[in-house]
Every structure is written in C-alpha cells, then in structure tokens.
Copies of this chain bind each other. A is one copy, B any other.
Amino acid sequence: VLLEEQVPQIYGFLPGLEMAGVYGGDGGKYDIAVALDCGDIERLGSRKPVFEKAAVTVNIDHHTTNTGFAMLDYVDTGCAAAGEIIYRLFGLMGIDPGKDAAICLYTAITSDTGGFRYSNTTSATHIIASELLKKGIDVADISRRIFDTVSPGKVRLMGEAVNSLELLENGRIALMTVSCEAMRRSGAADEDTDGIINIARNISGVEAAAMLREMENGDIKVNLRSNSYVDVSAVASKYSGGGHIKAAGFTVRGGDLGKVREMLLEDLRGML
C-alpha cells in the first residue's frame, strides 16, 4: 500500500501497517493499481505516475465529486466511507474478513461518520458495523484511540481558546481569539487547531461561532461555524474566503487581531 504521507499516529494501532509505506518514487510498473478514497487523480500526488503506468487501473471511492478516472470505476456515493465499499467487495468476492480486516474497516467507517453521528450514516452503515463487531473487535479501544486521544499541546490550546471566549449578543455569537503567544504557550502544533472552533459552536444558545488565529507571519486566519440559519460562507466570501453555509473560513493578510474581530463582529451581528 503506497501512501502519500505517514499514517497519523492515532492510526498506529491498525493491523497490517507493515504493508503500508510512504511512496518513495520507485517508478515501478504494476499489473494493477487501485486508487482508494480519491475523488480525482490529482489526489494521488506523487503516486499519480505509478497509477497511470499500471496495466489495469481501478478507482474505489464514495465521493460525489468522483471523476471516474480509472479503467474500472467502482464509485458508490451512497456509502458513508470507502470502508463500506471494501466490505461489500469482500462480500462480492466471497471473502470473509478476519478480525484484522474488521478492525481496519470498522476504523474507516467510524472515522468517516464521526462515530455514526454524521448525516452520511445510513441504515446500511449500521448493518456493516454489526457484521464487523461479530469478528470480536474491541470497539471501546478503537473508539478511544480515534476519538478520545488528544495531545498535551491541543489540550493547552483548548484552554487558551476557552480563556479568550466571548459570548456576545445574548450568547448567540461565540468568539475565540488565539494570538501567536497563546499558540506558543500551548505548545500546540498547527494540526492541533483542528476542531477547536467546535468548542464555541457547541455552546447552547450559540448560532454563529468564530475563531480568530494570529499566524506567525502576521496573517489572521478566521474559522466560522453556524448552527441553524446564519450563512457563514457569505461572510467568508466577502473576504475572499470560502466554505459551506455552516462552515467557512478566510484569511486576512497581515491583519490586526482587534480590527479583524471588530469587522467580523459587525458582519455576524448583521446576520442574526
């Protein structure tokens, strides 16, 4: 299994990782190349030439945007995870997944559905989970590793973010501001900022949430979330950002935290 990047540490428990490695550019020509969970061929990055040179190419995916780039495309956009499709292929091929494969497939499915919580979770997702559990996998252990393991830096960053929390407009707007110094104090890595905005979004009564983060180069990165009716993508696009109605973001080059905060607050107030 040729990967573009190292397997994230939290997935280090998966059986079979000895078969996976970061692609180092062997330039080899293979009989069959299978692209997994890739919407388009560009997602293969440095592995693109290996795929293109193969005698047979296969594309197994669930993204609605899949471009059908292989000789054989098996794309099912009704599946919550590529893991669901693989499970079905096992069935079609008459292969009974053992415990190790079950651990991997369950991990793929539970992580892509946020633990069966996202709207992509279907009745079929649960049927497959039910079958995988029959293999005797340790659901509590897998769930803890995937969902409940946080780095010390991320916990400290959560603290910094909460310390900066402002609840405005009768608690309908939640703002968090993370300065460069706060980021340094926390010892958090850049990836540790993932999901911190949800602390603000999840507060009862909050409709719009924002996290402003001062970057080392002086830019201000703004993350926006809404819960029901505010279209945060409209705010983001005003500042050349983008996203979806309930999740968007933008960056202000060389901005001032206080000024960006004022500007943004005015926009959000206007949308309540």
A162 touches B167 (CB 8 A): no
Q: With A and B bound together, what is the CA distance between A134 and B119 in angstroms?
A: 13
A204 at the interface (CB under 8 A from B): yes
- Does A203 make an interface contact (CB < 8 A)? yes
- Taking CB atoms and an 8 Å cut-off, the chain A residues in 181-219 that contact chain B are 198-199, 202-205
Report which of B117, B131, B144 forms a contact with A123, defined as CB distance below 8 A.
B131
A50-58, A145-153, A259-267 - interface stretch: A145-153
How near does chain B come to A144, taking the closest CB pair, in angstroms? 8
Q: How far, in angstroms, from A115 to B144 measured CA to CA in the complex?
A: 12
Nearest residue, chain B, Cβ from A117: B143
A203 in contact with B151 given A123-B134, A126-B133 (CB within 8 Å)? yes
Q: Which residues on the B side are within 8 Å of A147 (C-beta)?
A: 117
Interface string of A153-188 (1 = CB under 8 A from B): 001101100110101000100000000000000000
Q: Does A118 lie at the interface of the complex (its beta carbon under 8 Å from any beta carbon of B)?
A: yes
Contact in complex: A150, B202 (CB < 8 Å): yes
Contacts of A69 in B (CB 8 A): none
Interface check A122, CB cutoff 8 A? yes
Tell me, in angstroms, the Cα distance from A165 to B165 when the chains sit together: 19
Given A150-B202, A162-B155, A205-B152, A130:B139 Cβ within 8 A: no
Where chain A touches its partner, the secondary structure class is: helix
The reply to whether the CB of A44 lies closer than 8 angstroms to some CB of chain B is no
B133 near A118: Cβ-Cβ < 8 Å: no
A13 CB to closest chain B CB (Å) equals: 12
Q: Which residues of chain B are near A122, meaning CB under 8 Å?
A: 133
Residues of chain B contacted by A167 (CB below 8 angstroms): 152
The A33-69 residues at the B interface (CB cut-off 8 A) are none
Residue A116 interfacial (CB < 8 Å): yes
| A127 contacts the other chain (CB 8 A) | yes
Q: How far is the CA of A163 from the CA of B157 in the complex (A)?
A: 10
Nearest Cβ distance between residue A204 and chain B, in whole angstroms? 5
Given A122-B133, A126-B129, A133-B121, do A150 and B203 touch, yes or no (CB 8 Å)?
yes
Inter-subunit contact B163/A159 (CB<8 Å): yes
Q: How far apart sit A115 and B148, CA to CA, in the bound complex (Å)?
A: 13
A-B contact pairs, 8 of them (CB 8 A): A116-B143, A121-B133, A126-B126, A126-B130, A148-B202, A150-B203, A150-B204, A159-B159
